[in-house]
Amino acid sequence: MSLRAELDALKATLARYDHRYYVLDDPEVPDAEYDRLMQALRDIEAAHPELVSSDSPTQRVSGSPLKAFGEVTHRVSMLSLDNAFLDADVEAFDRRVRERLETDDTIDYHCEPKLDGLAISLTYVDGRLEVGATRGDGVTGEDVTSNLRTMKSVPLRLTGDFPALVEVRGEVFMSDAGFARMNREALARGEKTFVNPRNAAAGSLRQLDPAITATRPLEAFFYGIGAVEGGALPPTHAEFVAKLRLWGLRTCPETRVARGVDGLLAYYRDIGTRRPTLGYQIDGVVYKVNAFQQQRELGFLARAPRWAIAHKFPAEEALTQVREIEWQVGRTGALTPVARLEPVFVGGVTVSNATLHNVDELTRKDVRVGDTVVIRRAGDVIPEVARVIPERRPAGAIAPLLPANCPVCGSAVKRIDGEAVARCSGGYVCLAQRKESVKHFAARRAMDVEGLGDKLVDQLVEAGLVESPADLYRLTSDTLAQLDRMGEKSATKLAKAIESSKQTTLPRFLFALGIPNVGEATALALAEHFGDLPPLRAASLEQIQAVPDVGPVVAESIRNFLGDARLAGVVDQLLELGVRWEVQARSLGEHLPLSGKTFVCTGTLPTLGRSDAEALIRKHGGKVTGSVSKKTDYVVAGADAGSKLAKAEELGIAVIGEDELKRMLSIS
């Protein structure tokens, strides 16, 4: 046997032993035999370093500590999930799924525990682990490849029949036993212990030194898919999870397929009953439509898939006392009452602040300083005051009132009839609003000023260097270099990032302005409808309300913002300072090829992704909807088209393919 063959055989044997021990929990050989083979592998690699490869078991911990994590842009966004708390929420979810699929048939769902850990993405190229990343903001995460390589439940090479490129999603967590053991060992060394397994897992994975991560009892379960190239997926999620196991990836043994609402609720109650005995922390269960084709038909909202939902367990509660009630001022001037509490441990963390939402909630719950209150926390939900214990109220406790003036800038506080929110009228005059507005303006999904973090914004605003977002474009590298902890090199880099952010898109710019009630989806709808900023600024309330999905409240917010002299002045300054975007084809008042036509896309198109096809239709004046009705003009159907195609044929609606769509758009 050649040396290379001997080396490959050793690596394959050790990988099999790792899989049996760490993934299947079924050790094949005694520890002494494993250690003997590992030492033999180390000896060969030490004598022949040219034969060392990244997928060798000896390379799980290697290299020097990192100075900082790099960024990884996910090939497919890692979306969050909508939540269900009541049985009625689950029933509503199932009803929405069936309505969108236009079927009365019972839906099959894949069910799994919702792990309380840290979401990760692993990308394998030709079966080798290439990169691993945290979820981050869903679009960009931290590169923690070196740390993930130290985990024995993360295979360095896949086994079996795998695609040329596959991106799998999972969760890093710490078992109850591992967490307890780690804390015992830390106490014995006189070191600080962790508060809960989730924080311990997140902190351990984000160590800059992989050698430290390697000492932590981290585990992982895998359950999802991102990008796939050079291979096909099975038709259902359950079959995909089975495929993960064949590739050598560890999956949760508690997954199963359930039929309809009754099946979902039965699974939820079963897992809830067995939750204390699972050996790891969960905060609910996740339901996913099992058939991938149905998932594709259901599609996505801005931040979450329509085909999945997290059913949370009841919130954890604890008693504590209100020390003070303060009013926080947000980006849009909204005043939010916040209860400052005697610290209390609830839901795995120590809570010292809890939101009271708005003045109506404060009045309804009748929370006063000195009250004993029930604090509720469910998973990652912001802690809230659930209720007051009135029999423990101290004598003379006075109900807090909405302040007449902003606690930050002293401007008048105004409340529009019918709105629960009261707002500071100071606008950019208010230091709190100014800070939050600039942070929002520079955020990744807005103008995307790389390197301009919250602390830097605070410094700039407090120093009087930035009074509105427009002032960002007046900053120079010399000015930035004078800030605390900002060297010349960093200042130059940030100045370049600010300059490059001037070239943007109209939807990003509208979202960045921070118009109340205007999120990313509304900003996109406005941009597509008006095409450019001048027509939007000149539009009447009625014309704005004509934009799809823009109601009277949102239209009034937009009109008031653009009509405010101070805010309009900031917009003018931004344009004068060089902020630019490519003007979009305008769907209002211009004849576009698909003007007045309504389309539904279904199935898999030969070359266009469904979102690409829908974007092209909108760009050329057409309207895209998710379901087929008598108002539909065309159904664009690809391979594996399902119930929507059948409905179109039943109603006599024109069905076209990708080629016909391209001919209508005069593109090739």
Catalytic residue positions, numbered:
114
Which DSSP symbol is given to 380? T
Find the angle CA(410)-CA(415)-CA(417) to the nearest 5 degrees: 165
H or E segment to which residue 614 belongs: helix 610-619
Helices (H), 232-322: 237-246, 260-274, 292-298
Task: Give the strand order in the sheet containing 108-115.
Answer: 83-84, 308-312, 282-289, 108-115, 256-259
415: part of which helix (H) or strand (E)? none
Longest Cα separation, the chain: 89
Instruction: Report CA torsion sign: 656, 659, 660, 666.
Output: positive
How would you class 305 by CB atoms within 10 Å of its CB: exposed for 0-12, middle for 13-18, buried for 19 or more?
middle
Q: Which residues lie below 8 Å from residue 445, measured CB to CB, with a gap of 6+? A: 137, 139, 508, 511, 520
Report the amino acid identity of residue 150: T
Interatomic CA distance for residues 396 and 390, integer angstroms: 13
CB 608 within 8 A of CB 658: yes
Between helix 658-665 and helix 610-619 the angle, nearest 10°, is 20
Nearest of 14, 115, 4 to residue 52 by alpha carbon: 4
* Distant-in-sequence, close-in-space partners of 362: CB < 8 Å, separation ≥ 6: 325, 337, 356, 400
Q: For residue 317, list its beta bridge partners.
A: 376
How far is C-alpha 535 from the geometric centre of its chain's CA atoms? Answer: 33
